[in-house]
Amino acid sequence: MNPWTSRRAATSAALMVSFGRERGLDADTLLAGTGLGEGEITDPGGEITDDQELTVIGNLVSALDDRPGEGFALGLRYQAAVHGIFGYALMSCATVRDGIEVGTRFFDLTFAFSRAALEYAGDEVRFCLDDRHVPAQLRGFLLERDVSGILAHWGALWGQPSEIRRIKVAESLGERVAPVFRDRGFLVETTASTHAVVVDARALDRPMPTASPEAAAVLLRECAELLQRRQNHGELGARVREVLLRRAAEGPTQDQVAAELGSSVRTLRRQLGEEGTSYRAIVAETLGTMAGELLDAGLPVERVAHRLGYADASSFSVAFKRWTGRTPGGRRRERRSV
């Protein structure tokens, strides 16, 4: 089962495509396997799934050979305004303490994949990040990006860089990311499991220069509503996935799926668009995941093709590459090398 089904703004994917383009990478390379086009990620109100953003990240990391420092450089671009109402909610908080507590409470509205928690310990506060559930091959890049984003927010909204006491890095990533942070002037401490950005607690009661109690009340309510909507998203999308999975061996067309749901293709497209997704994206995510799991289980390509309603392995291979950005054989070679 795919755990990355919540939704998020497409802004981050657009940032990564722009970042990659500056490094000689084209949009098609970075969006491969997402079912997304560049127009969808540049739509100001567009949303994508967590899984789609992870795919973009994986494509970027692979294309850059997971070069240390690239995640940190990318994270500096995640300023408050990039996060929409969440960013404005942070800016409107009364004090630094309020800001970091709001940031933790609504951390799922950021573009991070880690889980966040605050720890108060004497004269310091630790903003902890747990990424043990994140795909291993992406953790180094994402920790760089997330810590860099936190540091950017601290400097822009809350305090001075000198108030950052140290960065704690789990042993599993110490060799990969500690030099990146040290090279930028930060003290790094290795820990057993979770990571943390540790700051001077004396900064917490400082008033925010952009504080607005009236705006904060409205924005915090909107953050709560947005978080609930994203986490409970896609009732119709879920029904489409259910039909695709149940009838996978038949290879149902979009017309057949719409008919089963008592809808027309045009209405189905419109309603999925209102949920921030598309039929094409759901097919890529659902059948791509199912096919990948069957291939990983060792089934021959011909049998996987048959289970997904394809007449032969060749036509299935074309579809699989469209969904995931790689051929069935390429996926198996990739899995063997991990």
pLDDT in tens, 317-335: 999 999 988 899 988 887 7
Q: Based on the domain organization, do 211 and 328 belong to the same domain?
A: no
Answer with the one of 197, 229, 261 that is the final residue of a domain. Answer: 229
Rounded alpha-carbon distances, angstroms, from residue 98 to 80, 151, 211: 15, 17, 10
The answer to whether position 26 is within a domain reads: no
Rounded alpha-carbon distances, angstroms, from residue 39 to 17, 30, 36, 45: 12, 14, 8, 12
The rounded distance, in Å, linking the Cα atoms of 49 and 248 is: 22
What's the domain range around 286? 235-337
Is the model more confident about 332 or about 265?
265
Q: Is the pLDDT of residue 21 over 60?
A: yes
Q: Based on the domain organization, do 212 and 279 belong to the same domain?
A: no
Q: Based on the domain organization, do 218 and 129 belong to the same domain?
A: yes
Say which range, 174-178, 200-204, 275-279, has the weakest mean pLDDT. Answer: 275-279
Q: Is the pLDDT of residue 200 over 90?
A: yes
The number of C-alpha atoms within 13 Å of 201 and in the hemisphere containing its C-beta is: 9
- The average pLDDT across 176-195 equals 95
Determine the longest span between alpha carbons in the chain, in angstroms.
67
Q: Based on the domain organization, do 186 and 300 belong to the same domain?
A: no
- The average pLDDT across 300-308 equals 88
The rounded distance, in Å, linking the Cα atoms of 57 and 301 is: 27
**Residue 241 pLDDT:** 82
The answer to whether position 203 is within a domain reads: yes
| The two structure tokens encoding residue 66 | 């997971």
The answer to whether position 16 is within a domain reads: no
Q: Based on the domain organization, do 76 and 216 belong to the same domain?
A: yes
Q: Based on the domain organization, do 79 and 212 belong to the same domain?
A: yes
**Residue 294 pLDDT:** 82
Q: Based on the domain organization, do 135 and 201 belong to the same domain?
A: yes
- The average pLDDT across 2-31 equals 89
H/E stretch holding 50 = helix 50-63
Q: Based on the domain organization, do 191 and 274 belong to the same domain?
A: no
**Residue 148 pLDDT:** 96
Instruction: Please list the helix, strand and coil fractions of the chain in percent, rounded to the nearest 5, in that order.
Output: 60, 10, 30
Q: Based on the domain organization, do 194 and 246 belong to the same domain?
A: no
Q: Do the Cβ atoms of 326 and 291 come closer than 8 Å?
A: no
**Residue 160 pLDDT:** 78
**Residue 2 pLDDT:** 45
The answer to whether position 43 is within a domain reads: no
Q: Is the pLDDT of residue 60 over 90?
A: yes
**The model's pTM:** 0.70
**Residue 232 pLDDT:** 61
Residues 6+ apart with CB under 8 A from 150: 127, 197
Which SS3 state, helix, strand or coil, does residue 48 take? strand
| The two structure tokens encoding residue 291 | 């096919």
The answer to whether position 179 is within a domain reads: yes
H/E stretch holding 188 = strand 188-191
- The average pLDDT across 219-248 equals 79
The rounded distance, in Å, linking the Cα atoms of 269 and 327 is: 28
Q: Based on the domain organization, do 73 and 210 belong to the same domain?
A: yes
Q: Do the Cβ atoms of 89 and 220 come closer than 8 Å?
A: yes
Q: Do the Cβ atoms of 121 and 198 come closer than 8 Å?
A: no
**Residue 1 pLDDT:** 35
Q: Is the pLDDT of residue 234 over 80?
A: no
Q: Is the pLDDT of residue 184 over 90?
A: yes
Q: Based on the domain organization, do 86 and 225 belong to the same domain?
A: yes
pLDDT band at 124 (very low <50, low <70, confident <90, very high): very high
Question: What does pLDDT average to over the chain?
Answer: 89
The answer to whether position 31 is within a domain reads: no
Answer with the one of 200, 229, 258 that is the final residue of a domain. Answer: 229
- In terms of average pLDDT, the best of 36-45, 96-105, 136-145, 318-327 is 136-145
Q: Is the pLDDT of residue 276 over 80?
A: no
Q: Do the Cβ atoms of 83 and 75 come closer than 8 Å?
A: no
The answer to whether position 78 is within a domain reads: yes
**Residue 285 pLDDT:** 85
The rounded distance, in Å, linking the Cα atoms of 155 and 162 is: 9
Q: Is the pLDDT of residue 6 over 80?
A: no
H/E stretch holding 130 = strand 124-130
- The CB-based long-range contact list for 290-297 (8 Å cut-off, 24+ gap) reads 290/245, 290/248, 291/316, 291/320, 291/323, 291/324, 291/328, 292/324, 292/331, 295/328, 295/331, 295/332, 296/331, 296/335
The answer to whether position 287 is within a domain reads: yes
Tell me how many domains the chain contains: 2
**% of the chain beyond a pLDDT of 70:** 96
The rounded distance, in Å, linking the Cα atoms of 70 and 15 is: 13
